[in-house]
Each structure stands twice: as structure tokens, then as C-alpha cells.
Structure 1
């Protein structure tokens, strides 16, 4: 049965035509879904009763349900744990900033990348998220924002899972939410994160989309990075950086590098100097992330003064670097934490 949220406008127009309906019906449905946030086909009052009955019988609207919700008392961050009929759960996070509202979307149920500092990988990957399931995640946040007449201003594909390992669905999701007849969220306001899957970076560069690329780096040597991120054995730093340069040369866009600071592991001034040498000549921004504590991993947070020293060293060497503002630290806001807690794995 077709999932309405899983269709681009073009696909919906073809589906309507196949049903013997005029194509303009697709635009009406699309606007009901995304501009008016209809939760039922019965809400679509400019469609005939017969068509609404057919849609109700022959198509699926939302398939998820809210399992639980956490709201930060510190900064208003909201984390939804959503469930689907096959029993899986995923998280999506709404973050409120001075410059707007950002939503973090999960692209997979769990993750198979095995990064040692991340809760998402505990239990491995269960399955891929469809584009429509990603859309549903986004709409939970948008409907909450509707209550205060606000809107989602930016999206980050940084939740559970590796977006480049679900490339087609992730790009389709972007096309759906970017459509001016729908949510109309510009691609320049969308960021896709990867652990460093080189083929995906190359493919993204060749598609020429104006979205922002964020690369999870976390170490400047192969030995250290491989111990933290198994993907580095397949795509070592030299190959990753070659792909990043290709991406910049092809798109003209700078790259954001995510670097999780882990006490005593990758947070020395020598580590900062190695990182600066690695990024020399590549327009980029380093987003430093004080590591979240995951009980299974014996990782410790870098002290504040050492974080600042790391930042200062990078800046003195010409690297654009900032420390990520922590959002929702009084709730389970790190990727995979709430899902793992719900499943009893933490």
C-alpha cells in the first residue's frame, strides 16, 4: 500500500494519473500533508468524498506513533521516541536556537558503523528508514512548533544511522521537504553527516546539491581513528581527505568536521596540531563535541580548560573551530541513548 509521505510531488502526480484522477489532485494532497499538516485524508475537504474514501482504503498516511517524549528544562530541547508497526523505534530531536529551530533526523534503525563513542551502534542496525518515515519524524517536531506559530528552519541528518548507507532514501527525503508546495525547507538549510563513506561523499559531490556536508573525523591518525571508527579500515584518512577535497573542488562548499573530544585519547595539543596539518588548504570548520558518557565505553569528558586550550591551538594554526553548544544535556539527547534506554540496553 503506498505511503503518502513517501512520495515526491512528481510521484504523487503519476500515482493520481494512474488512478484516473487529474494531476492537480496530487498538488492538493501534497499541500494538505505539508502546509496544513493534515493527519487524516478526511481533513482534505477540497477532495471529493469518493476520492477521500479511496485514499483511506488504498494509501497509508502516518504509520508511526509517539512512544515517549522528553523535554529539557534547561533549553527546551525535545526528544521524541517514535515507534512503527514492525516494533522498531527511532529518535528525532527538536533543538531550539536563537537563529531558529533545528530537527535531527534518524536515517536508520540503529547503526552498523560501530563507532565506539556512540550509543546508536549498540545492538547493530535493524533496518533502513524510508524517506516517508524520515518525513514523519520531521512532522512531529513541526506539529509541536505549530502550537507556537513557529516552523522548522533547518534539518540535520545526524540521528541514529549512517545517511550515506541509505543514500537514495535520504536524498528523496530532502526532495520531499524541499518542495515549495510542501514544507519548502531550502537545501542550504540541510546538513548530512557521514562517518566517512567515501563513495557517498563522491556521489553527493557529483549530484551538486547545495546541502552541507559534515564528516565525523574524531582523530587525525589512522591508528587512533581505526580504534574508534572501524570504517577507517576501509576508508583511511588519506582516502577520506582526498574525497573531501574532491567535494570542495566540485561544489565550492566548505566542509564541517565533527571531532568528539575524549579525555586522554584525542584531546592533547599534539592532537590539535596534527588535526590542523590534516586540514591545511581545505576550507572547513571544526565542530568540537565534548563526548557524551556511554556506560559501555570507558570514555571521559575532556576538562573545560583543556577544551579551551585545544580550541585556542587550532585557531592559532588557522583552523576555524568552535565547541558545539550542548543541547538537552539533562535528557537522553545523544544519538541512540533514549532508544537504548527504552530497550533496556543501557
Structure 2
């Protein structure tokens, strides 16, 4: 009988992330949820929700329609098409949906016309201020009781509004408060636009503090960032209708496309679609890790489209539009802020050419005792230095609204918010 060789038992080899130096003793914290249970699919992977759950749709609003559709709707009501321009001027220029302000419309049937074309969409539940009145967070209640937030910020020379595009979010990123409850529903184009109109009304009434005498910018929202609740490219059609209304100089808000930033965690097919829109918005990719080993855990959609696929799509956006891409990168202590990751990020970006990208690291908003906390200042500075030294323009981003939970990744309805919303009637 032939003697069999002894069976060797081995300890599974720990896989080192691509680009990571060996045996450095660098501390590596793994992503995990804290205080909530991450939803998983039948395979045990974090659940991704791309489709909006079925709920009652919001009423159709002027901003949901193209100009031709607005005219056609009015004609069906037996009214002349030119009333569309009158309604547009009141809503997009004077920021009002109040029929009493619209004295150029016939008194007979005015209330019904305005109620039908400009139905109420957002009910303000709460308003919190910080930064000496230069930052305001709004909590809005939608027609079906869903809650969303937006954040208004005055900077020297510009006013920025961070808008929500979904109630909740289906991307299930473990470090983002918004994704904890999953996706409630997509927002309509008009619900997105209404956040801007209501902000403009507040600004026009003097409700946003602190404009300096040397600041000659207009008193209205000049910059939009789709970085509130939701994954914008998962609500693609409605977000793009809202963007078209924003940039329409004749029948909309007349904003500059260059002042509008559309962000995504990496929905590659939608990034390619955005590049074909011929609307030169700023595109931002929320990357947060340059290696798939970490990003698979940090950004669950990375299981569908890997880092290199997302970066290739971002580069293609630049090639098609000529608009420099922003890379958003939340710096999290001992998790994704290692110097070697800065080097790997620079290597991947430079491999796709020069001059096409700008990196915006932002210190994560700290929570006492949590693994999710901001990188230490020397680590932040080293991360930025390495990118800049590699020829990648990099700017550490200012954080606004931390005190009112209005900063990046903090937008979520609390129990206190929900109690306030319960006591607030819609309308």
C-alpha cells in the first residue's frame, strides 16, 4: 500500500489591498454600521435599491412640464397659452405660488388655475441656522408625509443650495446617515425645483444673513449641489428635468449649468448618459477609496461597478464635455486616509491623463466614540500634499452645518424631526 503524503493545514492568507505597502503596521479600520442594521439581500450583500418604491405620486406641477406641455395643459382648460409665461414669471422670477400675488391673471378662476398649475409640494417643518445665519437647514414634509432636507449656504460671491433628489437613499453606504432607513421614494422634478424657489423667496425677504458690502453677487441661489438626500443618478429622468428647468433662461430659473454639481457614488451607465445630455454641469464622483478592497465595503454599489470603471466613466465625461470632474473623498480616520491610498489615487488619476480632474477631500463630520470620525489634521495635510505633489489639483473642502447636522452625510430625519412633522399639516 502506497503511503499518502501528510495533509498540510494552512492559515488563510490575508489579502493585502492593491497598492498597499507590506508589513507597515499601519492601522486599518474596517467599515461597519453603528447603531443600525444594514439591510442585506438574499446573498448577504448590502441591499441596493435602484427602483423607487410605489407610493402615491405628487401632484403634477408647472415645473414637471416642458413649456409646450404647459401651454397644452392650459389650452385643455380652455385658457390661452400665454398664461403659461405669466405663471412662469410669478414662480421662477418672483418665487410665489400665491394666487393673491398674481393680479395680471383674471380674477375669475384665478385660484383654481394657480392651485392646478402650482400645487403645494413642500411644507416647512423646521428651520435651523448656524454660521451666524449664513447656513440654514430646512426640513420639508412632502405631500405623502415623506421627509427631506436641504441646506442653504452663503459664501463670499455665491449662494449655494444643497438639494435632495430622493426621500432617503437606496445606496446603503454604512457611513452615511441618509441611507440608514433605505429609499422611501424618488422626488419629482418639481419637488426638487421647489427647494430652490423656496430658498430664493427666503433670500429675497432678507432671511439669509451676513452679506458684506463688498459682495456684489445676486441675492438668489447661484450654485446647486445634488448632495442632499438621495443618489441623484438613481432618479435620473426627474433630476435631469429639474436641471433643464434650472438652466432654462426663458421658461425656467435661468441659472448657469456650470454652477450646478451632480454627484454620484458611481452608477456608471448613468454617468455615460449624463455625458450625452449636452448640459455642461459639473460632475462629481463620490469615490472615498481608490482600491476595490475597501470601496466594496465602504460604497456597496462598488460591487456592480468597480473603481476603475467609475474613473473611466468620469474621464469620458471630461472628454465629452470639457468640464473638469470633481472627486469627492471623505477622510475617515485610519480607514481611508492612509498615505499609500493618496499615492494610489494619484496614480489612478494620472494614468487617465492630466488636467481633467480636481480632488475635494473633506474631513468626515466626527461623532464622539465612533469609528466614523475625521482624520487628524496632520494626516489630512499629508493626504492633500501627496496629491498636489503628484500634480493632482486638490483642495481640502470647507465643512458647513455640522452643528445642525446639515453637513455631508448628516442629512437624516431624527425622531425629533418626525415628531415635529407629525404636528405639521401638509399644505
TM-score bucket of the superposed structures, by smaller chain: over 0.9
- Is 1:68–2:126 an aligned residue pair? yes
Q: Which of 179, 189, 193 is the equivalent residue of 1:121?
A: 179
Task: State whether residues 162 and 226 of structure 2, in contact with CA within 8 Å, keep that contact through their aligned partners in structure 1.
Answer: yes
Question: Any idea what SS the aligned residue of 1:330 has?
Answer: helix
What does residue 165 of structure 1 align with? 234
Shift of 1:225: 0.6
**1:305 maps to what in 2?**
378
- What is the match of residue 215 of structure 2? none
Superposed displacement of residue 233, structure 1: 0.6
Higher helix fraction (1 or 2): 1
Matched position secondary structure for 2:253: coil
Equivalent position to 1:95, from 146, 153, 163: 153
2:387 paired residue number: 314
One of 179, 197, 202 as aligned partner of 2:267: 197
The structure with the largest strand share of the pair is 1
Could you list the per-position Cα deviations for residues 298-320 of structure 1 after superposition, in whole angstroms to 9, with x for gaps in the alignment? 21210111111111111111111
2:258 aligned partner: 188
Structure 1 match to 2:92: 34
Q: Distance between the aligned counterparts of 2:366 and 2:175, measured in 1?
A: 8
Match of 1:274 among 344, 360, 368: 344
User: Separation in 2 of the partners of 1:53 and 1:101?
Assistant: 33
User: For the Cα contact (< 8 Å) 2:63–2:242, is it kept in 1?
Assistant: no
Contact 1:6–1:132 (CA under 8 A) maintained in structure 2: yes
SS in 2 for 1:299: coil
Name the TM-score, length of structure 1 as normaliser.
0.94
Gaps of 5+ in 2: 1-58, 207-217, 420-427
Residue deviations 1:183-220 (CA, integer Å, cap 9, x gap): 21111111100000001100011112110000000001
* 2:245 is equivalent to residue 245 of structure 1: no
Segments of 5+ residues of structure 1 without an aligned counterpart are none
The equivalent residue for 2:366 is 293
Q: Which moved more, 1:140-149 or 1:256-265?
A: 140-149
Whether the 8 Å CA contact 2:366–2:374 is kept in 1: the answer is yes
**Whole-angstrom CA distance in 2 between matches of 1:201 and 1:243:** 6
| CA separation of 1:318 and 1:184: change in aligned 2, threshold 3 A | same
Of stretches 211-220 and 68-77 in structure 1, the one that deviates more from structure 2 is 68-77
Name the CA shift for 1:57/1:103 in 2 (closer, same or farther; >3 Å): closer
Structure 2 SS opposite 1:127 = strand
Q: 1:296 to 1:132 in 2, by over 3 A?
A: farther
Distance of 1:251 and 1:330 partners within structure 2:
37
Poorly superposed stretches of 4+, deviation over 3 Å: 56-60, 293-297, 335-338
Once the two structures are superposed, what CA deviation does each residue of 1:125-184 show, in whole Å capped at 9, x if it has no partner? 100000111111112211111023711111111111000000110011111122224421
Q: Which 10-residue stretch deviates more, 119-128 or 182-191?
A: 182-191
Q: Is the Cα contact below 8 Å between 2:257 and 2:279 reproduced in 1? A: yes
Aligned-residue RMSD, C-alpha: 1.9
Q: Which residue of 2 aligns with 1:323?
A: 396
For the Cα contact (< 8 Å) 2:97–2:118, is it kept in 1? no
- How many residue pairs match? The answer is 344
CA gap of 1:263–1:59, structure 2 versus 1, over 3 A, is same
Q: Report deviation, 1:343.
A: 4.1
User: Which shows bigger deviation, 249-258 or 40-49?
Assistant: 40-49
Compute the displacement of 1:296 (Å): 10
Q: What's the offset of the Cα at 1:279?
A: 0.6
